Every structure is written in structure tokens, then in C-alpha cells.
Structure 1
């Protein structure tokens, strides 16, 4: 057995160690540049042109189409049913290119969009809305004071954990405030409750950093809402899209 003393002596008499210089990568080695989700091509390209194709790609090749053209257009008839239900100050979480915050601003409604994509936020501001580059899990303006929060276009999937997201929003929306959630489409199983790892993809395999996402049907959402202190108040469908309104009890 080596004692502490002999170990110390060995260290004392050992020659000084000179670190080897860093090795350069072998010639011809390709190191792909990783890009943060929603913050680089192909999402930025799609926002710039206002059209897809754009998908969320699962590791098994499954693709979920993203409706870039609708996101970059004026609010459609389904969006109008949401805007009509907004009360007081409105926070649009994952606002994308800002069609809803721009529409709210044009109506004189105090509203703010947040999104982790700088390109999306710039688009929203140019459209006439107010928006910040911010994650919903970061500190937010008017924390705990918003009358209405929106999770449109599947944004209940943010973070891949609907329970954590709904719990977080109890600290964002004021007492007696509301949360309007767009769930999986009307033609999808209302019990859908899926957690996946996905990448943003333009259909040609463009690289993007993998991230966690969730897809939730209406009945599954209501279960999660009740478990986190929300009370379901209304459900409706419009133009093939399904929405659930939740209230934070007083």
C-alpha cells in the first residue's frame, strides 16, 4: 500500500509536467455547427419568406407540419374567436411572428408577446405588436398581473412538460385571470398526451438542435389543468382548431 508520505515524496521528485499542445482536428474532419431551436435556419428563413415547408421532426422520421403561412398572415376566423375572449392585459406566450399581438395592439388592447426567437420577435414588432425575446420560464414583466395568457399554435408543448408549464403560468396570470390554450387539432384524439424530442426541419434534413416538445388533446389538457390549480371554463372548435379556456380561481 502506498502511504501518504511516499506519495508526497513521489510528487516532490517528479519532473514538472508540460501540457501537450492542443491537437488540431484531422484534415477533412467535419464538425457540424449546432444551432439553438427556433433561433436559426431553417426557422429564420421561413419567417423571412413567410412560407414553409417547415416541420417538427422526431427521431423516427415522423413530421409535424408547422403552419408558417398562417402564422405570418392576418388573424383568421379561428384566431378571432380567441381575440374576442381576451380580457384586460394579454400575454401571448410563444408569439411567433406576432399576428395576435399586432391585432390586439390595433384594437388598443395592452398586450405583449414573448418568444425565444429573435427573428420572430423582430417580425412581431414590425407588424405593430410589442414583443420581447424571452422564455416563459424567465422572469417576465407584470409577473402575476396578466389578465389573459395565450398558448396558441400548439405552444402547450413548450418545454415538453405541460404540467410544469401550467404550474409556471399560475404565477404569471393574476387571480381570476384566464389562460386560453390551443390543443391538438379537432381531428386528433382528445386523450393525446405525448412527450417527444424533435428538431425544426425544412423537409431537407436541415440541422437544428433537438429539444423537448409535447402534444396534448383537450381532455388530457383538462386533466393537467385541474392538477395544477386551473379550472376549465369553456371549450370550442373553429376552422378545425380546438381551444380550451382555463381560469385561475380567486
Structure 2
């Protein structure tokens, strides 16, 4: 898991983020596919989704499976996924975490969960911010992003039909496991 520059702490945090993924998992904004690959190698069916053709190629090359697609478009097996991953702050994709969580809810099976990495600052709620990638050699296009902490995620999750199942902290990273909230199952869920 991870690349050449990953620390032991990075690897442990990644492992914590996927530890509860036991069934078909959708990795939204998969990037180069380290989590998609790790799940696949562990025998968990996983599909990465990214808008970058380079990221999709990297994921597929390393042994994962990924498709090049906008995560807000019609994705395969909507309503059937056991788990959806939003790692590495990908709750920020599109700058509107409420819309993204609504999409996640539509993707999940009624007994499914989402693992969402949030900022370690609990009260952070910074939406619709314009950012871009910059390296020593290039400057990317501007795009809309959001950053949220656990406190902001809780209310956004409820509005999307999800509820907090647990908080997982690992090596300075914070992951929130969200479960589908169903009136029929009650607040306690499965």
C-alpha cells in the first residue's frame, strides 16, 4: 500500500481506512489506486473511480480495477455497493459535501457503509473553495474543493440519510464510518 515515500504511519492509517470493507467497495477519487489495489489483493471486490485517465491507468497497472468517470454521473451498480470510500479528503470533491454524501447514499446498499476521511480539526467547514495542484514543474487548472471536520460531517450525513456508526483515528488521520439510516431498521441499524 502507498508508494515509495509512504511511512509506516501512512500504511497503518490506510489499513485502518479499509479494515471494515468486507464486501464490494467503490473507491471514489481513487487516484493512483493504492486502496483499490489493497482491497483487491485482500480478495475484496473493489472498483476505483477517477476523472484522471492517468490515475485510472496507474490503478489498473498496479492490479486494481478502475474506471474513468465523474463520480456524480451514473456509476455502475448504484444501490448495490457494500462500502464506499472517500479517503484522502475526497469528501471535498466538487466543493459540495452535502451533494457528494447524497450521491454516496444512492450508491450504497441499504446495509452499506461509507468510510469518509475528514480533517482532524472537528469544527472545520470550508466549502466551495477554489484550489489547484502545483508542482515544481507545472500548475494545474482551478477546481472546486471542500474541507470538513467530523462535526460538520455529522449534520451533512444526517441530511443525506446516513448516520455515524464510528470514528476511527489512526496516526493523525480521522475516518468516519457512516451507515445508511433506515426508518425500518431504526437508529441502531445492523
| TM-score scaled by length of structure 1 | 0.68
Aligned match for 1:88, one of 17, 23, 30: 23
Count how many residue pairs are aligned between Structure 1 and Structure 2. Answer: 178
Q: Compute the displacement of 1:159 (Å).
A: 0.3
Q: Please list the CA deviations of residues 63-99 of structure 1 after superposition, one character each: whole Å capped at 9, or x if unmatched.
A: xxxxxx44xx9x7001111221113100000001001
Q: Which residue does the alignment assign to 2:166? A: 234
| TM-score scaled by length of structure 2 | 0.88
The reply to whether residue 160 of structure 1 matches residue 95 of structure 2 is yes
Return structure 1 stretches of 4+ with deviation > 4 angstroms: none
Aligned match for 1:219, one of 151, 163, 188: 151
Aligned match for 2:45, one of 110, 129, 135: 110
Task: Structure 2: state its 5+ residue gaps.
Answer: 183-190
Q: Compute the displacement of 1:249 (Å).
A: 2.4
- How far apart, in 2, do the equivalents of 1:77 and 1:208 lie? 30
- How far apart, in 1, do the equivalents of 2:67 and 2:82 lie? 18
- How far apart, in 2, do the equivalents of 1:93 and 1:218 lie? 19
User: Alignment partner of 2:169: what SS?
Assistant: strand
Q: Which residue does the alignment assign to 2:32? A: 97
Task: Structure 1: state its 5+ residue gaps.
Answer: 1-49, 52-68
Larger Rg, first or second structure (1 or 2): 1
Q: Compute the displacement of 1:207 (Å).
A: 3.1
- How far apart, in 1, do the equivalents of 2:152 and 2:18 lie? 24
Q: Compute the displacement of 1:231 (Å).
A: 0.7
| Aligned 8 A contact 2:17 2:87 in 1 | no
